[in-house]
Amino acid sequence: MRSGTFKQSYAELVALSDNPVKWAWCALALAAALALPALANSYVLGLATTIAVTAIAVLGLNLLTGVAGQLSLGHAGFLALGAYTQAILGTDHGWPALPALAAAGMVAALSSLAVGIPSLRLKGLYLALTTLGFSVIVSYLLVMFEGITRGPSGMPVPPLMPLVSGLDHGRSVYLLALLLLVAFVLATLNLMRSKIGRAWAALHEHDIAASAMGINLTAYKLLAFVVSAFYAGVAGGLLALQTRYVNVDTFGVLLSVEALAMVIVGGIGRVTGALLGTAFLVGLPELIRLGFGGTGSWFDTLFANHAHEVKELLYGAVILLFLRLEPEGLAGIWRKAKRFWVLWPLSK
């Protein structure tokens, strides 16, 4: 067990972790993730891509809601804007996928000012419902401006050029999503350790006291919205690339709720929490299907006829269980497990 830290240079102080074992595990995980396209079929790969893409959006939401404390129920709106930007720039203006992705993030980030500015005076649930209203209005506008968005029929999205020649589209999108996820994770970790992250934490804890300490509330609140919307915009663009088709229906209130569930089940305010929560909740329907695939005929018929409803029930039940039994979420369980093994046999 490691105890005490002894830093000799500024670089060591600033490094994310000084533990070589931790870096080794991270490298291993990354290698496994990179090897996945060669080993898995396209369905599993599609699932992994969905996890990576959703994780990016959830990281952003985590920053806004978990770290900065601004409860947002409207994240689906930012995802929608990102996805549509990707579609419009790609299909109608011939932009290649990667610049369109950057633009998707920027558009979502700018649009977040539309909800950020009115919300400066709002707290708690009033803020949450305003963000909800924002996402409803975004859906409406996307349908309204048919000339640009093709309205309710949705838009096709041109494919991503293969990153490495010879790689099919599914694999290319997976690798891009993985790369971006790693980049965003590093960015998030650094943000949270920086002055901005500390200001957000202060804002979360007690905003009036923070303001009294000299933290510019307006600037940091808006920054939180803008940054998290950027994440969501990029995630939306990746989603569009993956399914090759965008439509307003995908981005309803339910998506915002699912994203929030991932934040909370994973563990509010933690990066590992966001990743674990996403992987768990996206993979849960598949696990349910696998787990109950072999059981008795009663459940089989129930499942076959009402798959959607059974999954929803189990989904809700899982969230309730987590909230009730482990409020710190999966990240909390992970930490406790680590501590248990580190202290064993002296652990409680």
Partner 1 sequence: MKLTAQLRRWLLAPALALAAAQPLLAQEPGVSDDEILIGEVLMLSGPAAFIGKSAYAGSKLAAAEINAAGGINGRKLRVLYEDDGYVPARSVSAMRKLIDVDKVFAVTGTTGGSGVTAVMPVVEEKGVPTIVHVAPNPTVLNPRRANVFMVGPDYDVAAYEGMRYLADKQGKRSARFGLLYQNDDYGKGVLKGYQKAVAELKLKDVVEVPYQRGAKDFSAEALRLKEAGVEVLVLGTVVSEVAGILSETRRLGMDLTVVGNWAAGLPATIKLAAPYGYDYYFDDYYASLSDPAGQRLMDSARKHLAPDEVAAMSRYAVSGYVGIKLMADAIRRCGRSVTRACVIAELGKTRNFDTGGLSGAISLDNPAGHAAPPLKMFQLNARDGSVKALTEFGAH
Partner 2 sequence: MDFLFNLLVSGLVVGGVYGLIAMGFAVIYRATGMLNFAQGELMMLAAYIAYALATWMPAGPQGPDAGALWLVVPGTLAAAMVAAVLLEALFIRPMAGESMFAKVMVTIALAVMIRAGIVLAWGNEPQLMPRLLGNALIRLGPVALYTPQVVVLLALALTSAATWALFARSRAGLAMRATANDESAALLMGIDVRRVYTLAWALAALYAGLAGLACAFLFSVDPTVYSLGLRSFPATILGGLDSVLGGALGGLVIGVLENLAGGYLGRGMKDIVGFLLIIVVLMVKPYGLFGTRRIERV
**46 contributes a contact to partner 1 by CB under 8 A:** yes
Q: How far apart are CA 260 and CA 247, in angstroms?
A: 21
Would you state the torsion angle of the CA atoms of residues 301, 286, 61, 206, taken in this order, to the nearest 10 degrees? 70
Q: How far apart are CA 168 and CA 40, in angstroms?
A: 13
Q: Which does 316 bind (CB under 5 to 8 A by kind): partner 1, partner 2, none?
A: partner 2
Q: How far apart are CA 134 and CA 116, in angstroms?
A: 10
**Among residues 239, 241, 262, 271, which is the contact residue for partner 1, using CB under 8 A?**
239
Q: Which does 206 bind (CB under 5 to 8 A by kind): partner 2, partner 1, none?
A: partner 2
Helix (H, G, I), strand (E, B) or coil at 246: strand
**Among residues 4, 5, 294, 324, which is the contact residue for partner 2, using CB under 8 A?**
324
Tokens 């991503």 -> residue: 160
**245 contributes a contact to partner 1 by CB under 8 A:** yes
Handedness of CA 338, 282, 62, 103 (dihedral sign): positive
By rule CB under 8 A, what count of residues binds partner 1? Answer: 25
**Among residues 26, 98, 201, 257, which is the contact residue for partner 2, using CB under 8 A?**
257
Q: How far apart are CA 37 and CA 46, in angstroms?
A: 10
Residue 336's Cβ-count burial label (10 Å; 0-12, 13-18, 19+) is middle
**153 contributes a contact to partner 1 by CB under 8 A:** yes
**290 contributes a contact to partner 1 by CB under 8 A:** no
Contact at 8 Å (CB) between 236 and 83?
A: yes
Q: How far is the CB of 252 from partner 1 (least distance, A)?
A: 9
- 91-113 CB burial, b ≥16 within 10 A, e <16: beeebebeebbebbbbbbbebbe
**247 contributes a contact to partner 1 by CB under 8 A:** yes
Q: What are the φ and ψ backbone dihedral angles of 347, each rounded to 5 degrees?
A: -75, 155
Using the minimum distance from each CB to partner 2, give the nearer residue, 27 or 209.
209
Binding positions for partner 2, 115-134, rule CB under 8 A: 118, 121-126, 128-130, 132-134
- Whether omega for the bond prior to residue 345 falls within 30 degrees of 0, making it cis, is yes
**Among residues 15, 209, 290, 342, which is the contact residue for partner 2, using CB under 8 A?**
209
Helix (H, G, I), strand (E, B) or coil at 108: helix
**Among residues 118, 133, 151, 162, which is the contact residue for partner 1, using CB under 8 A?**
151
Q: Contact region for partner 1 (CB under 8 A) — 58-66, 146-154, 184-192, 331-339?
A: 146-154
**Among residues 47, 71, 110, 167, which is the contact residue for partner 2, using CB under 8 A?**
71
Binding site residues, partner 1, CB under 8 A: 41-43, 46-47, 50, 143, 151-154, 156, 239, 243-245, 247, 249-250, 304-309
Binding site residues, partner 2, CB under 8 A: 65, 71, 118, 121-126, 128-130, 132-134, 136-137, 140, 143-144, 206, 208-209, 212, 253, 257, 260-261, 264, 268, 306, 308-310, 312-313, 315-317, 319-320, 323-324, 327
